[in-house]
């Protein structure tokens, strides 16, 4: 069964619905009625009332005078306390109705984008609008990559369906579609401009038994270019070695990507955006950079090594980069 993924980077989780429920309103109503009732009885408790009833009382002597004629005057209006109680109950019912309607409205608002709700439109915080993400189904009887029964840490789902889709409004780079969704190794190696480094990395990929490469790229209206590559190997042990030793040590990436004159660890990446079981190394190009700034991330998830590259003239924004990396990590987890 496929499972849906909700965004947790640079974003918000669903807020709890504000407002009171009918049950809480009912509790307040009962409290108000009890207070009014106690006020009308002079603050007496049931125990004190019971004690007064149990006390013996002396009957007055019988009167020998004739009884007065029945009064023809209209009955006096209800006592003020009774009117108050009726008003309280009427208002409580109205409040309960409006509370339930308000709660439903609040729930509907939390299901929408803030910019879709009149009066709640806010300036964009830099996040991109991705489509709803769903992991592809596993073949029958196959474990997930981090299941204890999966000793190899293998992704049995279709790797091509594990690549993050482009956000809404972006222009897709068809050059990364490959043939039937599989990218040639030389096209991936073109991400590295230095010839010697490119040949060295290419040989390491062969030596470590590279099986497939799936990729996707796009460009957004602000000029940000994004490229994502997923490289699948035979086991998670192979990826662990490549990740920590040959490709993405903490001090900096072993091989420079296209457009980056230098790369240093991005220590500002929020810890709350990290995804369990996924190895990560985040790098950013420090100032002064050239015509564009480049941000890169390497991810290790089971038998998959991932590279995310994002660049933009004048500076690559941190928020969409973190959002993209985190969502891709969630798809691989």
CATH code of 294's domain: 3.40.1000
Do 42 and 105 belong to one domain?
yes
Do 47 and 88 belong to one domain?
yes
Do 82 and 178 belong to one domain?
no
- Asked if the structure places residue 248 within a domain, the reply is yes
Do 161 and 234 belong to one domain?
yes
Do 97 and 176 belong to one domain?
no
- Asked if the structure places residue 207 within a domain, the reply is yes
- Asked if the structure places residue 67 within a domain, the reply is no
Range of the domain at 106: 1-9+17-57+75-123
Do 184 and 319 belong to one domain?
yes
Do 249 and 311 belong to one domain?
yes
Of 123, 158, 180, the residue at which a domain comes to its end is 123
- Asked if the structure places residue 38 within a domain, the reply is yes
CA atoms within 13 A on the CB side of 331: 26
Q: Are 298 and 280 in contact (CB under 8 A)?
A: yes
- Asked if the structure places residue 219 within a domain, the reply is yes
Q: Report the SS3 class of residue 225.
A: strand
- Asked if the structure places residue 267 within a domain, the reply is yes
Do 79 and 225 belong to one domain?
no
Which residues on adjacent β-strands are paired with residue 182? Answer: 179
Confidence check: pLDDT of 86 > 60: no
Do 194 and 311 belong to one domain?
yes
When pLDDT is averaged across residues 101-118 and rounded to a whole number, the result is 34
- Asked if the structure places residue 198 within a domain, the reply is yes
Do 238 and 100 belong to one domain?
no
Do 170 and 228 belong to one domain?
yes
Q: What pTM did the predictor assign?
A: 0.65
Greatest mean pLDDT among 33-37, 70-74, 88-92, 229-233: 229-233
3-state secondary structure 160-223: HHHCCCCCCCCEECHHHCCECCECCHHHHHCCCCCHHHHHHHHHHHHHCCCCEEEEEEEECCCC
Q: Are 277 and 192 in contact (CB under 8 A)?
A: no
Do 88 and 143 belong to one domain?
no
- Asked if the structure places residue 320 within a domain, the reply is yes
Confidence check: pLDDT of 40 > 60: no
The model's pLDDT over 63-77, given as tens digits with 9 standing for 90+, comes to: 444 444 444 454 554
The model's pLDDT over 235-293, given as tens digits with 9 standing for 90+, comes to: 999 999 999 889 999 889 999 999 998 999 999 999 988 999 999 999 999 999 989 99
H or E, element range at 312: strand 304-313
**Domain total for the chain?**
2
Cβ-Cβ contacts under 8 Å for 292 (sequence gap 6 or more): 259, 311, 312, 313, 314, 316
The model's pLDDT over 198-248, given as tens digits with 9 standing for 90+, comes to: 999 999 999 999 999 999 999 999 999 999 999 999 999 999 999 988 999
């Amino acid at each position: 069964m496929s499972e849906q993924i909700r965004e947790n980077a640079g974003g918000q989780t669903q807020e709890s619905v504000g407002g009171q429920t009918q049950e809480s309103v009912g509790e307040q109503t009962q409290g108000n009625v009890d207070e009014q009732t106690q006020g009308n009885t002079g603050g007496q408790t049931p125990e004190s009332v019971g004690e007064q009833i149990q006390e013996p009382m002396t009957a007055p002597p019988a009167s020998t005078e004739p009884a007065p004629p029945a009064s023809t005057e209209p009955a006096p209006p209800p006592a003020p306390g009774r009117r108050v109680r009726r008003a309280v109950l009427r208002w409580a019912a109205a409040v309960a109705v409006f509370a339930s309607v308000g709660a439903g409205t609040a729930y509907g608002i939390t299901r929408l984008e803030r910019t879709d709700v009149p009066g709640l439109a806010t300036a964009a915080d830099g996040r991109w609008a991705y489509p709803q993400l769903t992991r592809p189904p596993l073949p029958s009887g196959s474990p997930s990559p981090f299941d204890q029964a999966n000793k190899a840490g293998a992704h049995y789902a279709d790797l091509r369906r594990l690549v993050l889709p482009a956000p809404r409004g972006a222009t897709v780079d068809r050059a990364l579609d490959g043939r039937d969704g599989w990218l040639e190794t030389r096209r991936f190696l073109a991400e590295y401009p230095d010839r010697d480094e490119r040949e060295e990395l290419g040989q390491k990929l062969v030596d470590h038994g590279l099986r497939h490469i799936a990729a996707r790229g796009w460009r957004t209206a602000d000029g940000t270019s994004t490229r994502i590559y997923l490289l699948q190997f035979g086991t998670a042990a192979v990826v662990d070695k490549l990740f920590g030793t040959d490709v993405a040590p903490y001090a900096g990436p072993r091989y420079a990507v296209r457009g980056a004159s230098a790369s240093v660890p991005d220590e500002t990446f929020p810890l709350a955006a990290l995804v369990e079981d996924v190895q990560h190394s985040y790098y950013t190009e420090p100032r002064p950079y050239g015509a564009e700034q480049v941000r890169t991330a390497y991810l290790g998830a089971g038998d998959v090594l991932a590279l995310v590259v994002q660049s933009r003239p004048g500076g690559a924004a941190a928020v969409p980069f973190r959002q993209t990396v985190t969502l891709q990590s969630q798809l691989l987890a």
